[in-house]
Structure 1
Amino acid sequence: MRKLLAAALSVAMGMSLAACGGGSSKPAEETTKSAESGADKAESGDTKLNADIEYWSSWSETEAQADALREAADEFMKANPGVKINFTFNGRDNRNLVGSAVSAGTKVTMMDANADNIKSMWSEMTMDLTPYFEESYESTGGEKYVDRIMPSMSGLSAKLFDGKYSYFPYAPQAFMIFCNKNIFDDCGITKYPETWTEFMDACEKIKAKGYTPVTTDSNYATSWVGYYMSRLMGNDEVTKLSNDPSAWSNPKVLEAAKAIEDMAKKGYFDPVIETNTYPNAQQSMVINEKIAMYINGTWLPNEVKESTPDDFKWGSFAFPTVEGGVDDQTSGCYSSYGIAINKDATEEEAKAAAAFGVYVTTAFDQKFSDMANAIPVSVDGVWPDSLKDAQQVMSKYTNRYPSQTALILNSNSKQIIADACLKLMGGSITAEEFVEMASKF
């Protein structure tokens, strides 16, 4: 089930980003007590909550995330007997079903989806939650809710909606370079590369030891090229490349392509990279333990968990800066799932729904993460061991790229560009030929 979930989620991100992670080191008994205590304090002030809530979710009935939401609701309702929460688990098609259901007069009080889908599909029907973000709750230790969740996640909730918080973020995730830390250790690489020069030095050490420095596959084909271009030119200029063939005449494009061509000439890419279909690259990385690096999302360790040896050590770091570039390692792709409230909800329904949203993402946050193998959204959440390095990367992200960078934003050019990227990394075409091929849309 984890594999099916992770595969769907990797497509959902923008495709669209979705759930991720691994287990937590926090004892289950401690987590349970914390969650139950939080449920007892879920009310805002002394106001009693009374409402029937219809929650439509993007998780499927049998997924761990659905189990976690049901358990959170049971504890919340026990502490708030005036509230009844009914779930409809629609799976990934929820983003399409909610709008038509509301239009048909079906009651939907609150709903969840990936943050970008909330923006693109539900922006006209979501309630401004800013007052609830600024409010303090007993389940937040008396602090404002906004101060108890990751700043990058709360910031995205507001940024997507012109400064108004429009969903409660949970199950965060991000793109970055994941690595086999055992290989780095064996090659004497004690510090993650921060610049392109350091990265190339690391690749040379890895190759010299008989390992393959870098892999990717058909699903993530644009990542290495796209991240280099984004670092060099910035997101806006890369966006132009996905929409305007003439934009490929920018000399910076050829400069980026030559850097990737140089990697191919030096043998830093997986020899089968041109024909690698998803999920071959990630499975090879953990099964063979000969591949050092792969750009993917924070769901990766969980996605390949069943195939990963017990002694495999995950590492991760942000894509390095490049010479003459405009972006640094604070730029990257990050997002989360979000819980939104229908703007047509009554005042009583909105208060109860918001209190539940706060509860799920604070008092129940660690337990949700433990049950669903997700990343906690609260500022003091305990991350899985496999994502400890990713936590440091994600905490520094402030400038947001689209999933796999802006090279994939246009469905009319996406596959053409992706095919050209694979050929460039595979060494079948030169940098000049890459520019010509990628711009033919």
Structure 2
Amino acid sequence: MKSFNRRSVVTLAAAALLLAGCGGGGQESNNAGSGGGASSGGKVTVEWWTIHNIDPMLGVWNGLVKDYQAKNPNVTIKVNAMNVENFKSKLTTVTQSGKAPHLFHTWGGGVLAQQVEAGLVKDITSDISSWSDTLSPVALSAYQIDGKTYGVPHDLGMVGFWYNKKLFAKAGIDAPPATWTEFLDAVKKLKAAGIAPIALAGKAKWPGHYYWAYLAMRVAGLDALKQAAETKSFENPDFVTAGQKLKELTALEPFQPGFLGADYDKPDGQAATIGNGKAAMELMGQWAPSVQRDTSKDLGEDLGFFPFPAVEGGKGSATEAFGGGGGVAVGADAPPEAIDFLKFISEPDNHRKGVKTGAIFPAVKGTEDAVTDRHAKLVTESLNKATGYQLYLDQAYPPAVGQQVNDSVAELIAGSKTPEQVVADITTAAKSE
């Protein structure tokens, strides 16, 4: 399920050049009043669209809705739970008409920015000011635009290297690499031992963009990526250097045979290649262990995790994380009870109920103790050390720009584009927005 949700980020973004029209209303009820915790007065119905349409999270959400309604008998929370494709389709249709649900799932980034520009979502900065400090700052950052907040996070994850400890030991690698030079050395040792160093879904494209994105973070720094989005220019020498570093890696031929035709979650795809022990590592999000298990085998204790290495001389830090999560946006005409409900589900004890299932990762401070899965703990530990956070580039930027990042990096990995051409193509896409 987590893998599917991640892919939907790209699918939704690509489909969401949707936002013509402004304003937007929910479904029903007294919409007077403003500010979280206030009351509209009388009977109120809050419509909530969520992509968590199966257990365990659907059961958690329904339980919290029941608890909230028991405490607020004048409020009805109408849950509309649907799979990602249906959510994408319905949200596109509704927002094109200039409306938005009272509460709806969001991944933040470029699509949320378009919704803000269209006047479809509410600025909730002041509404949540009394409790926003209980939320993880890195999680909240995905829903902040120009210093204002437009969503509340309920999930947070990160991309890192998942590796097979046995294969590392066989190649004589004593510890996960901490620098880019050490990483390249590890790749060489694995190849010398007859082991495919890295599994990659070249056909899917989106997994490949993780390499360029992380290298851009490590070489240029987070501020450079933000500035590029603002100026619509990626022709920064540091971004070219990031591409050159990626070319250093591809020159070693580190990927499994046939990687250019491989998908991610198919029986012969990237995840299964790792689970079946046919490659030593993959750069993937927090959902990787479950997809490996679903498509092949569970590596159990043999599966380790390490952050993307530091690049010597780079402006970025190895403690800056890359990834995404999930949150809830508030429709422009939502009643104040909608924000009060968000406060309720974001209370630590209530948030823990979801975290305990393993379906979501902590987005509320102090709830890390609810993480029980050994692999999830590895990700949580890394996130707790994070000093900065970058959203997936195919989500952080407008849809067309994100797609160009995926396409151009895939061509770079395949050898048909140069690092200079990559930044030029992404810049062209950005200026066309």
CA contact (8 A) 1:169 1:337 kept: yes
Hey, what does 1:163 align to over in structure 2?
147
Hey, what does 1:271 align to over in structure 2?
257
CA distance in 1, matches of 2:54, 2:252: 47
CA distance in 2, matches of 1:363, 1:357: 13
Hey, what does 1:355 align to over in structure 2?
340
| Offset, 1:169 | 0.8
Pick closer, same or farther for the CA change 1:419–1:46 going to 2, 3 Å: closer
Hey, what does 1:31 align to over in structure 2?
none
Hey, what does 1:374 align to over in structure 2?
360
CA distance in 2, matches of 1:146, 1:284: 41
TM-score for both structures, normalised by structure 1 = 0.72
Residue 71 of structure 2 corresponds to residue 79 of structure 1: yes
Hey, what does 1:227 align to over in structure 2?
214
CA distance in 1, matches of 2:408, 2:96: 38
CA contact (8 A) 2:197 2:254 kept: yes
Hey, what does 2:112 align to over in structure 1?
118
CA distance in 2, matches of 1:49, 1:312: 54
CA distance in 2, matches of 1:74, 1:265: 57
Q: What are the Cα deviations for residues 189-209 of structure 1, in whole angstroms up to 9, with x where unaligned?
A: 454322112212332333344
| Offset, 1:303 | 2.7
Q: What are the Cα deviations for residues 246-276 of structure 1, in whole angstroms up to 9, with x where unaligned?
A: 976x765665444334434434332322332
Alignment equivalent of 1:89, drawn from 49, 60, 81: 81
Hey, what does 1:317 align to over in structure 2?
306
How many residue pairs align between the two structures? 387
CA contact (8 A) 1:110 1:340 kept: yes
Pick closer, same or farther for the CA change 1:115–1:265 going to 2, 3 Å: closer
Residue 9 of structure 2 corresponds to residue 13 of structure 1: yes
Gapped regions of structure 2 (runs ≥ 5): 14-35, 429-433
Alignment equivalent of 2:411, drawn from 408, 412, 420: 420
Hey, what does 1:341 align to over in structure 2?
330
Q: What are the Cα deviations for residues 303-353 of structure 1, in whole angstroms up to 9, with x where unaligned?
A: 33323326354332222222332212233323332223334234xxx1x32
Hey, what does 2:164 align to over in structure 1?
180
Q: What are the Cα deviations for residues 397-424 of structure 1, in whole angstroms up to 9, with x where unaligned?
A: 4444342578996267446514423323
The 5 Å alignment of 1:28-177 reads 51-59=43-51, 61-62=53-54, 64-92=56-84, 93-94=86-87, 97-98=90-91, 101=94, 108-116=101-109, 117-122=111-116, 124-135=119-130, 145-157=131-143, 160-177=144-161
Which SS does the other structure have where 1:130 is aligned?
A: coil
| Offset, 1:102 | 7.4
Alignment equivalent of 2:381, drawn from 392, 401, 410: 392
Pick closer, same or farther for the CA change 1:262–1:164 going to 2, 3 Å: closer
CA distance in 1, matches of 2:91, 2:403: 27
RMSD: 4.0
Pick closer, same or farther for the CA change 1:388–1:185 going to 2, 3 Å: farther
Hey, what does 2:179 align to over in structure 1?
195
Which SS does the other structure have where 1:316 is aligned?
A: strand
Which SS does the other structure have where 2:77 is aligned?
A: strand
CA distance in 1, matches of 2:98, 2:400: 34
CA distance in 1, matches of 2:411, 2:312: 24
Pick closer, same or farther for the CA change 1:131–1:51 going to 2, 3 Å: farther
Pick closer, same or farther for the CA change 1:177–1:232 going to 2, 3 Å: same
CA contact (8 A) 2:106 2:151 kept: no
CA distance in 2, matches of 1:373, 1:247: 35
CA distance in 2, matches of 1:14, 1:369: 24
Hey, what does 2:190 align to over in structure 1?
206
CA contact (8 A) 1:60 1:91 kept: yes
| Offset, 1:291 | 1.6
CA distance in 2, matches of 1:321, 1:310: 27
CA distance in 2, matches of 1:181, 1:261: 26
Gapped regions of structure 1 (runs ≥ 5): 18-43, 136-144
CA distance in 2, matches of 1:149, 1:416: 34
| Offset, 1:96 | 6.2
CA contact (8 A) 1:231 1:325 kept: yes
Aligned-residue sequence identity (percent) comes to 19
CA distance in 1, matches of 2:42, 2:318: 46
Pick closer, same or farther for the CA change 1:161–1:290 going to 2, 3 Å: same
Q: What are the Cα deviations for residues 8-31 of structure 1, in whole angstroms up to 9, with x where unaligned?
A: x222334579xxxxxxxxxxxxxx
CA distance in 1, matches of 2:116, 2:232: 32
| Offset, 1:125 | 3.2
Pick closer, same or farther for the CA change 1:130–1:239 going to 2, 3 Å: closer
CA distance in 1, matches of 2:234, 2:140: 34
Hey, what does 1:38 align to over in structure 2?
none
